[in-house]
Structure 1
Amino acid sequence: MPSLYPHAKGISYALKDKGIDMAVASRSPTPDIAKIFLDKLEIQPMFVAREIFSSWIHKTEHFQIIHRRTGVPFNSMLFFDDEDRSIDAVKNAYCSPLF
């Protein structure tokens, strides 16, 4: 059974209650299972966009899709990832040179 860190659900609901839009962007060899996990965790409705793909598209493509779907400017997005290469790719594509 999937699980979240102890305070993750409460923090996510608090962000949603404050009107902060959240999205999921993931590359997974089993996107159907990933979506089922979001359902089981009861957090799927929190996200304005769920971009979960089985292909290994570049993370910047996820950002482009989320931007088109939500209209949120890139400089207003906050990004977390567990892969340095994805963080670097997004930072290089969308962050100002000051970062």
Structure 2
Amino acid sequence: MPSMYPHAKGILHALKDKGIDVAVASRSPTPDIANTFLQKLSIDSIFVAKEIFSSWTHKTDHFQRIHSRTVVPFNSMLFFDDEDRNSR
């Protein structure tokens, strides 16, 4: 069963309540499992865009798709990543 840090869900809901759009972007070899985890964590409805797909393309593809869906300017997006090659 997937789990989150204790305050993570509350933070996500607080962002949504404040009108701050949140999206998720992931290059996952198993996008169906990633989406199932979001559902099991009861947070899938928080995201205005979910770009989860199996690909080895550059992360900018995710941003292009999120921008197309939300019209949020790139300079207004904040990006967190746990993959070293994306944080250089």
TM-score, normalised with respect to structure 1: 0.86
Greater helix share, 1 or 2? 1
Q: Please give the residue correspondences for 1:11-50 in structure 2 after superposition, counting only pairs within 5 Å.
A: 11-50=11-50
| 1:63-83 deviation digits (Å, cap 9, x = unpaired) | 011001100000100100011
Q: Residue 56 of structure 2 corresponds to which residue in structure 1? A: 56
Percent identity over the alignment is 77
Q: Structure 1: 5+ residue runs without aligned partners?
A: 89-99
Which letter maps to 1:63?
F
Q: How many residues matched?
A: 88
Runs of 4+ residues over 2 Å off in structure 1 = none
What is the identity, as a one-letter code, of the residue corresponding to 1:87? Answer: S
| RMSD between aligned residues | 0.7
| 2:87 corresponding residue in structure 1 | 87
Counterpart Cα distance in 2 of 1:41 and 1:57: 27
